[in-house]
Structure 1
């Protein structure tokens, strides 16, 4: 009989031990989950302008701005058509990109389809009459630099293209 009493107590201890283990695991998961959520909101949340300015400075410092210029010729010409006063008009444009950061030149090569697409959309949205003036061409250069840098920033986190050079600009 003494043996039977020990067995009963052992079974009750095992059941109580399992319950304690489950409770401990649940509490540990809740603590870890809460800590993870707090870390996420702390690191990802907040709209602190000082932190945003610090991030911009850090990003700008990562792009090489000194050294020899590196040029990347965009091989295929851009051809865009316009309808002007009922007549079909065309713009043929060859471009070269200028940077001082070889890493960003390599990124341009990788993301070339996206860049070409955005540039074609930019060129086709222009006014044919405005492109006939020097001011219109300079505004298009600035818009092209901004377009390429926006794509590079979106894809790599960095800009890095200093200038766009029009090596051929034919309007017909």
Structure 2
């Protein structure tokens, strides 16, 4: 009877030993694969740090050079002997903007003019993306309520919101905004 128990225990241990051997073999195979991959990709090769720093400096210098056509508009300087001033350029949007006020039957109609210190590329970008800019301005106007109209700085705040939204649109499509101010050349609420 004692002999039978020993055989039973030996048989129970046998599958456990096989599992351990298979697990160890799998780990060794995985480690061998990782080390072999690292060897083949040059991980263990001696690297010249000075050469790598030189390459990195060359890449940084190459990326910092202005690319033709990729730089943003340049500010147009105004000739003034005592201090540097920038020329103000204006452009009026051709059609007025009309929007409902939130929560009321009233409408707001405005005509906009934009001002920039930058060169004519800002105006070209405005003309190019005018539908998107008009949409952004209408969204800003639509968020206004009748109660907002009585605020003393309503027009200034609305102009600033429209300017920020327009610059966001230009930055999205042209990587540069450039609109310094938005002015209302007409402002009607009915």
TM-score (norm 2): 0.54
Unaligned runs of 5+ in 1: 1-29, 32-58
Residue 97 of structure 1 corresponds to 114
State whether residues 98 and 164 of structure 1, in contact with CA within 8 Å, keep that contact through their aligned partners in structure 2.
yes
Superposed displacement of residue 137, structure 1: 1.4
Deviation beyond 6 Å, 4+ runs, structure 1: none
Whichever of the two has the greater Rg, that structure is 2
List aligned pairs for 1:123-142, cutoff 5 A. Answer: 123-142=141-160
Distance 1:167 1:148 in 2: 17
Between the two structures, name the one with larger relative contact order (CA 8 Å, sep ≥ 6): 1
More strand by share: 1
Aligned pair partner of 1:82 in 86, 89, 101:
101
More helix by share: 1
Distance 1:108 1:61 in 2: 14
TM-score (norm 1): 0.59
Unaligned runs of 5+ in 2: 1-40, 43-69, 78-85
Give the direction of change, closer, same or farther, for the CA distance of 1:161–1:65 in structure 2 (3 Å limit). farther
Superposition CA RMSD, Å: 2.6
Superposed displacement of residue 131, structure 1: 2.5
